[in-house]
Amino acid sequence: MTGMQFGIFTVGDVTTDPTTGQTPTEHQRIKDTVAIALKAEEIGLDVFATGEHHNPPFIASAPTTTLAYIGAQTKNILLSTSTTLITTTDPVLIAENYAKLQHLTDGRVDLMMGRGNTGPVYPWFGKDIRQGINLAIENYALLHRLWTEDVVDWQGRFRTPLQGFTSTPRPLDGVAPFVWHGSIRSPEIAEQAAYYGDGFFHNHIFWPASHTRQMVALYRKRFAHYGHGTEEQAVVGLGGQVFMNKNSQDAVRIFRPYFDNAPVYGHGPSLEDFTEATPLTVGSPQQVIERTLSFRDYVGDYQRQLFLMDHAGLPLKMVLEQLDLLGEILPTLREEFAKVRKPGVPDAPTHATLVEKAGGAHDSTVYAAGDTATGTSDRDLDDPEVAAVIEGEL
Amino acid sequence: MKRIVVVTAGLSVPSSTRLLADLLGDAAQRAVEARGVEAEVEFVELRPLAHALADHLLTGFPSGELAAAIEKVHRADGLVVVTPVFSASYSGLFKTFFDVLELGVLDGKPVVVAATAGTARHSLVLDHALRPLFSYLHAVVMPTGVFAASEDFGSTVDGDLQKRVDRAAGELATMVAGSHAAAPEPARKTVEDEFENPTDFETLLRRASEG
């Protein structure tokens, strides 16, 4: 898994198949999501990412439960998020949950921070949507410290203060999971990603290329400004959306009813207009290869390409067939991107590359001073008076 | 060179809304130039953008010609907006155009509001519908709005339409041509502004913790 990573991302929507009128149950959709992730590993993809939502029609709550379950059944695929709600989730819980996942999967974890798509999620979790950007900035500042500092004193505006707090488990090998910051149209988030030297992921699929180009260019410029390297060394990810068939007319014919009724853009522009305006590609595998390669023309060499494959009510069988087709073009995509890649462009970050960058793995367990239950003591045993008391008690 | 953009939401051809828009556009150009400043007037007709506007509501982004129209409005030094009256207010098409503008696009922009209808009984639509809309959008609405009923295109006892047009254009021109003009430092930065001049992260952090 060097150079560029390819994968899929899901938002976990329960959507009626417009061609049959059938809507999966939550249970079915949850199981289907796992089947899709296992298929992604089988066809050799590098990344599976799930969204996080807290309302119908989504089944994407509790993302680390899903990812851990998938992680237990896979060996290679990197598990990620699309996105983790940094605005409304307690950063302490994010720190704990994803560090735990990192240990369980031997480092096959990274995350993408996002702000969500449903306004009421903010009040449901006791937050104010007008503070969306501020929450994203302050919460991540805390999360970053929880992963890089063993003991944190914290006081902020949005959460209760922490004194002498240690988030457990500590990150695997002393290296925090890599973080991407995802945004469609908030330059502040590109700025945030640049400041930390983290990755920037542009969703890409809902806006025209001209906009994606601007967001990525801003991130690259500011990445260099903050001294993390050259603009070309910034770490960029993109979304994409494809539907393939050996025969491109069949692809259009089969996909059109799904497109026309899709929850996000359905009943709006024609499939043809939307295909022209956004990266959506509906056609032959060769067309998908060519379109995907063209993304590089406006964002430069980049590290991660995720495709949205299971949406708009497409039944599981069709999604798995699509993944088979994606698996078939994967070697070509890798090869063609590698051919044109400029020297000096960093590989996609993985746990291994991060450990190497950190100068090797080191266990970062923070051993507590101890207590009587585990045989050590939180009292000073070197103090003879204390020792005498304890021995007497025991 | 000052740029006046006239946004007009007439639906029929010919359209009395466009007729009023033309009167206002010409008058604004004359008025700015009378103050010794060059001016150009551009029109944004909303009718051909109707599909793109509906698409924007659904997809969240403007397609080609709509993006160009929004950009025109964004860059304008002064605006004239003209709507037909539908059911006691601006038309849905007119409102949709202003609904899809991003926050901050009209901040501090001088605007003349204008409307047309079959009868003068609708004339308060300027003050009950258009003025609050543009106040909300942080535009600077000129004191004179121009309402034209069908009868105003002939001579009427209520006075000359052209006089009202010229008065509104004069108010706009004073703002547009004046060096101290409207355009104070805009209160909000648009996404485009951020691309050109990003807010540095230390400021974002401070803002997050201080509100």
Tens-place pLDDT, residues A115-163:
988 899 999 999 999 999 999 999 999 999 999 999 999 999 999 999 9
Question: Are B208 and A135 in contact (CB < 8 Å)?
Answer: yes
Tokens of A64: 């680390």
Same-domain status, A195 and A324: yes
Do A319 and A388 fall into the same domain? no
**Residue written as token pair 């599981």:** A316
A261 shares its domain with A371: no
Which of A134, A137, A269 shows the shortest C-beta gap to B55?
Answer: A269
Facing residue for A207 by CB, picked from B61, B199, B201 = B61
Q: Is residue B201 part of a domain?
A: no
Note whether B194 contacts A: Cβ–Cβ < 8 A: yes
Q: What is the pLDDT of residue A379?
A: 56
- In sequence order, what are the beta bridge partners of A179? A111
Backbone angles phi, psi at A111, to 5 degrees: -140, 155
* pLDDT level of residue A326 (50, 70, 90 thresholds): very high
Task: Give chain A positions within 8 Å (CB) of B208.
Answer: 133-135, 137-138, 141, 157
Q: Contact at 8 Å (CB) between A258 and A322?
A: no
Task: State the Cα–Cα distance between residues A35 and A87, nearest whole angstrom.
Answer: 30
pLDDT beyond 70 at A394: no
Bridge-based pairing state of the strands A162-165 and A236-244: unpaired
> pLDDT tens, A90-117?
999 999 999 999 999 999 999 999 998 8
Judge if A380 and A331 occupy the same domain: no
Q: Taking CB atoms and an 8 Å limit, are A191 and B204 in contact across chains? A: yes
Q: Which helix (H) or strand (E) holds B83?
A: strand B78-86
What pLDDT is attached to residue B192? 87
Residue B209 lies in a domain: no
The CATH number of the domain holding residue B32 is: 3.40.50.360
- Largest interatomic CA distance in chain A: 86
d(CA A326, CA B40): 53
Dist. CA A94–CA A71, nearest whole Å: 18
Whether residue A134 is found in the same domain as residue A230? yes
Name the minimum distance, in Å, from the CA of B138 to any CA of chain A. Answer: 18
Tell me whether residues A138 and B55 touch, CB distance under 8 A. Answer: no
Structure tokens at A52: 């996080």
Is the residue at B145 inside a domain? yes
Given a cut of 60, whether residue A1 has pLDDT beyond it is no
Asked whether residue A321 falls in the same domain as residue A378, the answer is no
Which among B194, B208, B209 is the nearest to A187, CB-wise? B194
Inter-residue contact A135 to A127 (CB < 8 Å): yes
A347 and A293 in a common domain = yes
Q: Domain limits at B47?
A: 2-183
What CATH number is attached to the domain comprising A258?
3.20.20.30
Same domain, A180 and A283: yes
A53's tokens: 């939502």
Is the four-CA dihedral B6, B9, B13, B18 of positive or negative sign?
A: negative
| pLDDT at position A373 | 55
User: Across the interface, do B198 and A207 touch by the CB < 8 Å criterion?
Assistant: no
Total count of domains within chain B: 1
Query: What's the rounded Cα separation, in Å, for the pair B211 and B204?
Result: 10
Nearest chain A Cα distance for residue B62, angstroms? 9
* Residue B142 lies inside a defined structural domain of this protein: yes
> Which residues have CB under 8 Å from A63's CB, separation 6+?
A50, A51, A52, A81, A84
B134 within a domain of the structure (yes/no): yes
State what percent of residues in chain A have pLDDT above 90: 89
DSSP strand E in chain A: where?
5-10, 47-50, 78-81, 84-85, 110-114, 152-154, 162-165, 178-182, 199-202, 236-244, 281-283, 304-308
In this structure, are A394 and A327 located in the same domain? no
Residues B61, A268: C-beta atoms closer than 8 Å: no
Determine, yes or no, domain membership for B202: no
Angstrom distance (rounded) from CA B14 to CA A124 = 52
Split at pLDDT 50, 70, 90, the class of A318 is very high
**How far, in whole angstroms, is CA B101 from its chain's centroid?**
11
Nearest to A137 among B59, B195, B204 (CB): B204
List b or e across A301-334, with b for residues whose CB sees 16 or more CB atoms inside 10 angstroms. bbbbbbbbbbbbbbbbebbbebbebbbebbeebb
Confirm if B137 and B116 have CB atoms less than 8 A apart: no
CB pairs under 8 A between A and B: 75
Cβ atoms of A141 and A155 closer than 8 Å: no
ipTM of the complex model: 0.86
- Boundaries of domain holding A265: 5-363
**DSSP sequence for A202-245:** E--SSS-HHHHHHHHHHHHHHHHHTTSS-GGGS-EEEEEEEEE-
Nearest to B59 among A192, A195, A206 (CB): A206
| Cβ A114 vs Cβ A85: under 8 Å | yes
Domain shared by A385 and A358, yes or no = no
Q: Are residues A122 and A165 in the same domain?
A: yes
What pLDDT does residue A376 have? 53
Q: Are residues A384 and A243 in the same domain?
A: no
Q: Mean pLDDT, chain A, as a whole number?
A: 94
